[in-house]
């Protein structure tokens, strides 16, 4: 942890990125409903946060239980979630996940990573989001931003989000785990963007060695 400036960086970023501005999924943990969090997470994949919020609201107004979603005709479901992108694939996943929850888990979202990962369509990130935001577990959901930024900061040197999760578990003090995803997703969307990050506006610029950062603003 030496020389990585993790504590000062987390202090600055926590202050900079207010909880109220966090992603829809982050905010859902205030009043957790595991099924809604799981479905919103599946809808959020490869989609913008504004869309996730809009589409989730639209869908939950019609159906917000595994039984209700499994009964929606496929065409109607596709139409409801159309603007989240990849709507055909997502509607299949939503149907399958709902049916599996009914069949194997008594219509309840399971609370262990092993069980969550046993459902087709639920990957590592989604499982960790559900565990963290629905069940309050101390885990690190890692998306592209949570993977890219700690590498740029020189905290870790990893090739995949899975490697990043394991590496961060070793160096990030647990007191930061709950807020890490929310802060880094927002940071990655607004400042430390994948291409040409805004280093000139970055609140932690002085701590950052900018590993493998090419063009920047
Ligand atoms: S200085 Fe640039 S590369 Fe480093 S964290 Fe900030 S925006 Fe990202």
Helices 177-190 and 6-16, packing angle to 10 deg: 70
Query: Model's pTM, two decimal places?
Result: 0.86
Spacing, Cα 140 to ligand 1 middle (Å): 21
Spacing, Cα 47 to ligand 1 middle (Å): 23
The pLDDT value recorded for residue 1 is: 45
Side-chain half-sphere of 54: how many Cα atoms within 13 Å? 11
| Ligand 1 atom at minimum distance from 197 CA | 7
Q: Closest by alpha carbon to 98, among 108, 84, 88, 85? A: 108
Tell which one of 16, 152, 196, 216 to mutate to probe ligand 1, the residue whose CB is within 8 A of the most ligand atoms: 152
CA dist list (Å): 204 to 38, 41, 181, 185: 33, 29, 17, 15
Write the pLDDT tens digit of every residue in 71-124: 999 999 999 999 988 999 999 999 999 999 999 999 999 999 999 999 999 999
Q: Would you say residue 25 has pLDDT above 60?
A: yes
For every residue of 7-54, DSSP letters joined together read HHHHHHHHHHS-GGGS-HHHHHTTS--HHHHHHHHHHHTTS-HHHHHH
Q: Closest by alpha carbon to 159, among 168, 170, 151? A: 151
Tell which one of 5, 155, 204 to mutate to probe ligand 1, the residue whose CB is within 8 A of the most ligand atoms: 204
Average pLDDT value for residue range 48-75: 93
**What span, in angstroms and rounded, lies between the C-alpha atoms of 186 and 175?**
19
């Amino acid at each position: 942890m030496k020389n990585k400036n993790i504590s000062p960086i987390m202090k600055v970023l926590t202050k900079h990125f207010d909880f109220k501005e966090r992603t829809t999924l982050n905010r859902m943990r205030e009043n957790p409903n595991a099924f809604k969090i799981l479905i919103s997470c599946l809808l959020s994949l490869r989609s913008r946060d504004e869309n996730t919020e809009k589409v989730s609201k639209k869908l939950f107004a019609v159906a917000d239980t595994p039984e209700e979603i499994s009964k929606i005709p496929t065409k109607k479901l596709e139409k409801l979630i159309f603007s989240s992108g990849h709507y055909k694939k997502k509607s299949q996943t939503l149907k399958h996940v709902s049916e599996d929850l009914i069949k194997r888990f008594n219509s309840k979202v399971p609370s262990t990573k092993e069980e969550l990962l046993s459902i087709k369509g639920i990957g590592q990130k989604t499982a960790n989001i559900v565990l963290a935001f629905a069940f309050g577990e101390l885990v690190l959901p890692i998306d592209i931003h949570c993977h890219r930024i700690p590498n740029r900061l020189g905290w870790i040197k990893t090739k995949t989000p899975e490697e990043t999760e394991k590496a961060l578990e070793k160096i990030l003090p647990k007191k930061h785990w709950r807020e890490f995803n929310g802060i880094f997703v927002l940071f990655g969307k607004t400042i430390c963007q994948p291409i040409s990050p805004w280093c000139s506006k970055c609140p932690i610029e002085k701590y950052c060695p900018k590993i493998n950062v090419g063009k920047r603003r």
